[in-house]
A = this chain, B = another copy of it.
Amino acid sequence: MSNPSEAPVAPVEAYEPPYYVAVFTSIRTEDQSGYSETAARMEELVKEVPGFLGMDHAHTPGGLSITVGYFRDADALTEWRSNAEHRAAQKRGQAEWYESYTLHVAKVERSHGFSRA
């Protein structure tokens, strides 16, 4: 999973279920050398996966990071999971960037959105 820009954005919309979410929660190490370049590259790559719907990211300074990727179906997730460059980034993440993380892959059954506008 990647770390999109920290700029304010609207959250990814509520798609019509079913679709998949990959929830990636992490605590990072102190040494983040090379992290942001890799994250930007992963963000580029995942957009090429057919069925990729979008990504939300939030990071509390000094605390937890959460990245949520949205995918149309399980095939899209399988393709992303087996991408060689993504796998290399995961290995480097375990070696250098993450103190701990958890990944939850789930099928969306219900969704809704609200907007003041």
- In Å, the complex CA distance between A61 and B15 comes to 26
List the B side residues contacting A113 at CB < 8 Å: 100-103
Count of chain copies: 2
Interface pair B8/A62, CB less than 8 Å apart = yes
A13-B114 contact given A6-B63, A8-B64, A59-B58, CB 8 Å threshold: no
Interface pair B56/A64, CB less than 8 Å apart = yes
**Can you offer 19 A-B residue contacts whose CB atoms are under 8 A?**
A6-B63, A8-B27, A8-B62, A10-B100, A11-B101, A11-B102, A12-B102, A21-B21, A21-B104, A57-B64, A60-B60, A66-B66, A66-B68, A100-B114, A101-B113, A101-B114, A103-B110, A103-B111, A103-B113
